[in-house]
Structure 1
Amino acid sequence: MKIRPLYKVSSLGLIFLLTATSCGSIPTDGSVNHYADPAQSASASAADIQAQGPSQNASPEQIVRGFIEAGIGAHDDYTVAREFLTPEFAQTWQPDDKTLVYRDQVNLKQGGKSEDFVVKVPVTTEIDKKGIATSFDAAENQDVNITVKQVDGQWRIASAPNAIVISRANFEKVFTPFTLYFYDSTFTYAVPDTRWFADRSTVATSLVRVLLQGPAPYLEGAVSSAVPEGTQLNRNSVPVNGGTATVDVNTAEPAANLSQLDIERFQTQLTQTLSQLNGVQAIQLSVQDQVLKQNSLDDYQAPVINPDVGPQVVGFSGKDMRMSENFRDDSNLTTIYTSDDAMQLPAMGYKRQNFAYLNAARNSLNWINSNTRKTVMMGEMLTQPSFDQFQWLWSSTSDGEVKAISIANRENQTPRTISADWLKDYTVSSLKISRDGTRAVIVTQSGGESAVWMSGIKRGSDNTPEALMEPIRLSSTGKVSDAQWYSDSSVLLADYSQGSTEIVNLSGEVKQIETLDGLASISAAPGSETALAHTQDESVYRLLDGRWSRIDISLEDANFSG
């Protein structure tokens, strides 16, 4: 069965991101994943790999095998691999169109004619020209058809697919994950989008080219781009000289029609995407060789990457809902609301003016503002409330009916049902909205199995939420009860039945945390990458250096903003 970690729709119409067990590696058994955090040494490792060119009087089979092995030589536009091709074919071959990663070894067979060969490739990962990766839970055999001919008495390849074939071990040395950045509708926050490319001198060109083409499918309709519509590279390269990457583009409309705000945002998007490359300190943006004026808006604020939600937490103390100015201690507590009825699973808006909680039966969601409580949502086994940046309050019933209600004012407060047809066969146990408001992380249960999903949020022109789009799946090492945003590109997962927790990154890296007996709830603060855990004996723990360390605070169910 084919599984695309970010972008392949399965038979259920859902998308999967499988788990990598360590940074920079693909698991050797079971489900395959090539997602991992970029290694600082990736460029050096790739540079150390030396592809070997064809030997004199090599046989047709040796030429074909040598060509396959030369796929490790990504530098200089696969110059060594092109030496195995006829001069004509070497000019037209496009190796970046597709990358086939194989496990074990390839099997070479003679075709119908002596000049024809079929390479049987047990593909575990496939990457397209946009850097979008497809993985397989079992190796899938693909045929690579190659034809050879003699050129000046030497065998050379006259036809082959526009692709390279590379072993898994070499893939890990040659390819690196990179992050493109897109934005929420207000251009306040940056939203990461992971892609994979060979780490070579032309990677800046690859990143800019796919950035201009737009976000990955699961983010389409959820994020915005500062790239003017119809923009393309004016030249087929993004040179980097003296620390400056020069980006020259063609736009559908004249550069004179671009506002200075448009230019600043475009410049920011390029800078945030390219600054992850070693040696890039600045960007020069031009339209058809006309350099655009930059940094001329005094009040311009660049979209923020991984914003900090702050140290404040909301929780319970007896009959009171209270807010603490700092999760580390109880030195500054404010009573938000007092109730004789039981309260649980609190939430707090980002401006710390709106609060919410569920009743004991989890069938009533209550909103608090200015010490006034109002029941705004009803449903069976509601998930913990979650606020977004656009002043919408979210929850889901256990049967997958996702609801959101505007808290911008007290009039016409009717919960809005959010379209999410893909959830209809699942029991929902957790739903949290990202700080940027473009994504939701959702935990579902079905047939004794749990799953963690990340879905783009489609909104109307006024930022009213309309739908949770087809998601990607984040895998875990075990069952999952709850998920909290740990950063803009990672989530903290918990299995309350086992007391286990782990952090899963969008790149696929998984960091397991020590087990905590009696684990009852978790919360996390994106931006500061801080997390709290509460146990059944009312103890509170803070995550430090991959371990839970007990802290002395009195609030129960303490939860950060969001």
Structure 2
Amino acid sequence: MPDNGDLRGVESTPRRDAQVRVFAMPPSDNATPTQIVQGFLEALTSDDPQYKTARMYLTPRAAENWQPERSTTVLADGPDAAARAPVQDDDEHVAFTLTGREVATVDAQQAFSPSSGEYNKLLRLIRDAETRQWRIDIVPQGVVMGQSDFERNYMSVNKFYFASNTAGATRNEPPMAVADPVYVRSHVDPTTQMVRSLLAGPTTWLDPVVRSSFPTGTALAKGAGSLTPDDRGRLVVPLNGKAAEVGTGRCEEMAAQLLFTVRSPTPAVEEVELRSGDKELCSLAQESAEAVATRGSLHSPEYLYFLDEDQRAVRIAAGSDDTEPEPVPGALGEGEKQLRSVAVAWDEHTAAGVAVDGKSLYVGSLVSGGSLGEPVLRSTGKTEADRLTAPSWDARGGLWVADRNPAAPRLLLLEEGAGEPMEVRTPGLDGRIQSVRVAADGVRIALVVEKGDRRSLLIGRIERSRPDGGTAERSPVTVLELRSAAPELEQVTAMSWTGDSRLVVVGREKGGVEQMRYVEVDGSTPDIQQPAALTGVKAVTASPDDKVPLVAYSVDGIVRLPSASQWQKITKGTAPVYPG
């Protein structure tokens, strides 16, 4: 350390946190059954790519039949291993029971899902007749580990496919990319894992509403090895012969899928080059990807919208420091009708508003001089809480809203925000919808559903069928396979989409206090900084572009949360929304 001289500024560069890799130890000679079991469980949490060390704890036959990639079971704590009977010196076989409390599973497709219940599996050891060493001969398929080890070993990443059966193709627009979150081992070549997972196809839940531009059977070329970008950020992906004859347009869509996918675990990738054999198929740079395909997080809103003290629709520039709103152009901003909620289409040319009593839904253009006309929908619920929810627009211009009338609760869709409302089928829905938000990709929908004294956040898949037998004028729309995105929250009071596969949720756990948190659509918790605490939250909104600040309506009025900062008051008002 110098002890004299002038102070001088030093250029600093950000450093990535060093990653600590964990390697398992092989079984020691004359290890006891308990040591064998503990060594095997520890080996499951290591960074050994093929679990070679873990297999050393198994008999040759068990090692051959064991399939660790089949599933990962996550327990609240590490698995407890207990011998079913005291181990004697002359024993030739010993049984252990692995127990714990399940909190999640990751299946063979690397898809995460929350779970509950008790984990109870048999592990049996035998003593080798020649070496007299203990080895495991009965082992559960897959791997098991505690939650802390799972968080150290795995990371959530998105692979991308394209929305199918949407209006983009008929409008000659770029296809809409849809995020399919999966978990990969974070220290075992995640880039190559992601490419292999992408080529294997979408997860079962998402598959019915997306497509892949890769021809069926496309895989990495034999002997492709580890995929690593070069010094210029270019990633070369060698494919097998199934992709050899694709045209330029389709190849660029394939490259866009890869580029969106690999930039999640490897942000340094700036360009993807696809090859088959000695032939270059195509290449796509990051700056050109938006012309080939679009995705929700690439859409940055122009304005933030909310209602002022006179229940008129107003707006301020999104992401700005403005605190003085201006009325939106058109009847919704002129106070022709007092409103309780508002929703703005993705193109920010049209808006919808629910009247202050919740009975009527109006749609108007955001153009000066326009009039509202008659409501496009009415509810006959007896109280305000039994009438219309706040509406939500999908990416193709459809307007979604739920009627909470207990006598006839239903989810409704107005194509292009007009015409006769279509009742959306919701098989398996158990409860009454209290809130509706459609994802930017147009194929997923978030619902707050009330049953008894519980309000849960559910994610559903939007499927659009062809007209039935040619007799129906419109394609039936169905929300299928609803699943919980925040199972630990007992009372969800507000939510909004943000990022490609994430939501921000306000709610509380049983016996807990109100909190705001990010959740993934698969029910996992992202490894990112959670929002700063805010009390009395009644509504929250976020943009798919996560660079735009969160905005909420609380006891302090309209407030926003700049990145890595504290909540700041904007102005008085209610019901804030970004487009969507």
Superposed pair shares fold, TM > 0.5: yes
- How far apart are 1:356 and its partner, in Å? 1.0
The alignment partner of 2:152 has SS state of: helix
TM-score by length of 2: 0.76
Which residue of structure 2 aligns with residue 44 of structure 1?
Answer: 19
Give the counterpart of 2:569 among 527, 541, 550.
550
The letter of the residue matching 2:118 is: A
Which residue of structure 1 aligns with residue 82 of structure 2?
Answer: 107
Q: Does 1:117 align with 2:95?
A: yes
- How far apart are 1:473 and its partner, in Å? 1.2
CA change 1:265–1:202 in 2 (3 A) is same
CA distance in 2, matches of 1:299, 1:492: 26
8 Å Cα contact 1:324/1:330 also seen in 2: yes
The letter of the residue matching 1:470 is: E
Which residue of structure 1 aligns with residue 159 of structure 2?
Answer: 180
Give the counterpart of 1:270 among 235, 250, 258.
258
Ranked by relative contact order (alpha carbons within 8 Å, sequence separation 6 or more), the top structure is 1
CA distance in 1, matches of 2:458, 2:565: 24
CA change 1:151–1:403 in 2 (3 A) is farther
Which deviates further from its counterpart, 191-200 or 397-406?
A: 191-200
CA distance in 1, matches of 2:125, 2:252: 48
- How far apart are 1:415 and its partner, in Å? 0.9
Give the counterpart of 1:330 among 324, 329, 337.
324
Which residue of structure 2 aligns with residue 249 of structure 1?
Answer: 239
The letter of the residue matching 2:480 is: M
Instruction: Output aligned runs, 1:139-154, within 5 Å.
Output: 139-147=118-126, 149-150=128-129, 152=131, 154=133
The alignment partner of 1:55 has SS state of: coil
Which residue of structure 2 aligns with residue 313 of structure 1?
Answer: 304
CA change 1:535–1:63 in 2 (3 A) is closer
The alignment partner of 2:347 has SS state of: coil
Calculate percent identity across the aligned residue pairs: 20
CA change 1:341–1:531 in 2 (3 A) is same
8 Å Cα contact 1:146/1:160 also seen in 2: no
Give the counterpart of 1:473 among 480, 484, 489.
484
CA distance in 2, matches of 1:500, 1:62: 45
Which residue of structure 2 aligns with residue 95 of structure 1?
Answer: 68
Give the counterpart of 1:56 among 23, 29, 34.
29
RMSD: 3.6
Give the counterpart of 1:385 among 372, 384, 391.
391
Instruction: Output aligned runs, 1:353-432, within 5 Å.
Output: 353-369=349-365, 371-373=370-372, 374-379=374-379, 380=381, 381-398=387-404, 399=406, 400-407=409-416, 413-423=419-429, 425-432=430-437
Which residue of structure 1 aligns with residue 142 of structure 2?
Answer: 163
Give the counterpart of 1:504 among 518, 522, 529.
518
Q: Does 1:293 align with 2:293?
A: no
The letter of the residue matching 1:389 is: A
8 Å Cα contact 1:358/1:384 also seen in 2: yes
Q: Which blocks of at least 5 consecutive residues in structure 1 are unaligned?
A: 1-39
CA distance in 2, matches of 1:477, 1:126: 19
8 Å Cα contact 1:63/1:155 also seen in 2: yes
The letter of the residue matching 2:411 is: V
Instruction: Output aligned runs, 1:15-54, within 5 Å.
Output: 44-45=19-20, 47=21, 49-54=22-27
The letter of the residue matching 1:117 is: A
Which residue of structure 1 aligns with residue 7 of structure 2?
Answer: none
8 Å Cα contact 1:238/1:246 also seen in 2: no
Which residue of structure 2 aligns with residue 207 of structure 1?
Answer: 194
CA distance in 1, matches of 2:73, 2:127: 21
The alignment partner of 2:530 has SS state of: strand
CA change 1:153–1:446 in 2 (3 A) is closer
CA distance in 2, matches of 1:55, 1:329: 68
- How far apart are 1:308 and its partner, in Å? 3.5
Matched residue count? 509
The letter of the residue matching 1:480 is: V
Which residue of structure 1 aligns with residue 503 of structure 2?
Answer: 491
Provide, for residues 198-242 of structure 1, a one-character-per-residue CA deviation record: whole Å limited to 9, x for no partner: 223343343233322332333232333233233334437651245
The alignment partner of 1:483 has SS state of: strand
8 Å Cα contact 2:47/2:188 also seen in 1: no
The alignment partner of 1:266 has SS state of: helix
CA distance in 2, matches of 1:189, 1:461: 20
Q: Does 1:439 align with 2:465?
A: no
The letter of the residue matching 2:274 is: L
* Bigger proportion of residues as strand: 1
- How far apart are 1:420 and its partner, in Å? 0.8
CA distance in 1, matches of 2:336, 2:227: 65
The letter of the residue matching 2:427 is: D
Q: Which blocks of at least 5 consecutive residues in structure 2 are unaligned?
A: 1-15, 169-173, 382-386, 468-473
The alignment partner of 1:407 has SS state of: helix
The letter of the residue matching 2:282 is: K
- How far apart are 1:471 and its partner, in Å? 2.1
- How far apart are 1:524 and its partner, in Å? 2.9
